[in-house]
Structure 1
Amino acid sequence: MAKAHINPTRMELTRLKKKLTTAVRGHKLLKDKRDELMRQFLDLVRENKTLREKVEKAIITANKNFVIARAGMENEVVNVALMAPRQEVYLEAHTRNVMSVDIPVFEYKTKTPDVNDIYSYGYAFTSSDLDDAVKFLQDIFPDMLRLAECEKACQLMASEIEKTRRRVNALEHVMIPEMQENIKYIKMKLDENERSTQIRLMKVKDMMLEQAHHYSENMY
């Protein structure tokens, strides 16, 4: 139902028509945005699932190797071996815009380019299981960063999808129907006013003709 404060004028009708055109165009753009966000969100969810399984499997394997290494080595030897790492990692965080959502991007650099610097100990008093555990963690590190990117991106995109969905629903079920109803109401009122004006003009014309007729009769 049209709101009571709507002013049924042609200027208001023109304004509402322009507003309706803009709302319909915005509704289509928001639906397209929502659909594209959903498509990319589902791709990220699938990638996230694959990465999580891969990372968890590698971490479980690394933990098993650590357990085996500790079983065959003294605790003091393990602690000394891992006390002073030679390699360092520097993490840089950036963002990229995807459908108005700022997605995090992580990049890392190592202190030295030598891949063997991940081992902070000599090989004389340590077991190969400790080497395997460290190597597993080093190999899975890029996937862990990508997993962090995916999980944060999924959270941000899910929030944006929800906001976009609410806007689409508000336009589709509230604003656009309300404007259409108001336009219909104004057209109806304008038609009524036009008919009333025509009736008054016809009555005035009849009165003028009647007066002219009586004037003619008085002349004769």
Structure 2
Amino acid sequence: MAKAQINPTRMELTKLKKKLTTAVRGHKLLKDKRDELMRQFLDLVRENKALREKVETNIAAANKNFCLARAGMDDEVVNVALMAPKQEVYLEASTKNVMSVDIPVFDYKTKTPDANDIYSYGFAFTSSDLDDAVSSLQDILPDMLRLAECEKACQLMAAEIEKTRRRVNALEHVMIPEMRHNIKYIKMKLDENERSTQVRLMKVKDMMLEQAHQYKEKGYY
């Protein structure tokens, strides 16, 4: 049934038709947005899975190297070697817009461009296993940042997909059918009013003809 506040007039009918056209166009755009978000979301999920496996494998390898370094060196030597870092890393965070979603982008810069500055110790009293462990952690850093980007992007996209899906469902199953029903209701009312008007006009015409005929019989003409 149409809502009580619907006024069955031609102006209201025109207004509802315009709203329906806009809603149908918006529904199509939102569906396209949802589909594109889903495509990019699935690509990110696959990339996230591959990166997580790579990062976990590399971290396990770095931990293995650290264990080997501790096995071949005294704890005091390892602690002193890693006590005062020589290199510093500065993280820069920004965002990029993907389908109305602000995706984080992480970038980093080092204090010095020299790759050997990651070693904060001399090589005379340390083992090569410690060098390999430190180098492994340095190599993991870009993948870890990209993994953080992907995981946060997946969370934001999932939330946007859910929001878009709700809007699509609201338009498809509530608003558009309600507008079409109201348009049908107004058309039916207008047709009914038009038929009623025609019937009244026909009755008035018959009454006028009947009255004119009676006047003729009484000789008024």
TM-score, normalised to structure 1, is 0.99
1:103 is matched with which residue?
103
The amino acid across from 2:113 in the alignment is P
Partner of 2:216: 216
CA distance in 1, matches of 2:133, 2:191: 83
Identify unmatched segments of 5+ residues in structure 2: none
How far off its partner does 1:198 sit? 0.3
What stretches of structure 1 of length at least 5 have no aligned partner? none
Alignment of 1:1-220 (within 5 A): 1-219=1-219
Distance in structure 1 (CA, Å) of the matches to 2:65 and 2:107: 28
**Moved segments of 4+, more than 2 Å:** none
Give deviations 1:115-167, integer Å, cap 9, x for gaps.
00000000111111110011111011101000000000000000000000000
Counterpart CA distance in 2 for 1:86 and 1:218 is 125
Q: In the aligned structure 1, how far is the partner of 2:131 from the partner of 2:58?
A: 14
Shift of 1:6: 1.0
Distance across 2 between alignment mates of 1:2 and 1:53: 57
Give the distance between the partners of 2:181 and 2:138, measured in 1 at CA. 64
- 2:218 is paired with a residue whose SS is helix
Distance in 2 of aligned mates of 1:27 and 1:192: 32
Counterpart-to-counterpart distance in 2, 1:108 and 1:2: 60
Deviation at 1:91? 0.4
In 2: Cα distance, 1:78 partner to 1:216 partner? 128
For 2:167 and 2:126, how far apart are their aligned partners in 1? 61
1:4: how far off? 2.0
d(CA) in 2 for partners of 1:140, 1:64: 14
Moved more, 53-62 or 209-218: 209-218
- Which amino acid in 1 is paired with 2:86? R
How high is the sequence identity, in percent, across the aligned residues?
87
- Please report how far the alpha carbon of residue 83 of structure 1 lies from its aligned counterpart in structure 2 after TM superposition: 0.6
In 1, distance between residues paired with 2:217 and 2:62?
Answer: 119
RMSD: 0.7
Report how many aligned residue pairs link the two structures.
Answer: 220
**TM (normalized to structure 2)?**
0.98
**Structure 1: how far apart are the matches of 2:2 and 2:63?**
68
Distance between the aligned counterparts of 2:82 and 2:138, measured in 1? 14
2:5 and 2:18 map into 1 onto residues whose CA distance is 19
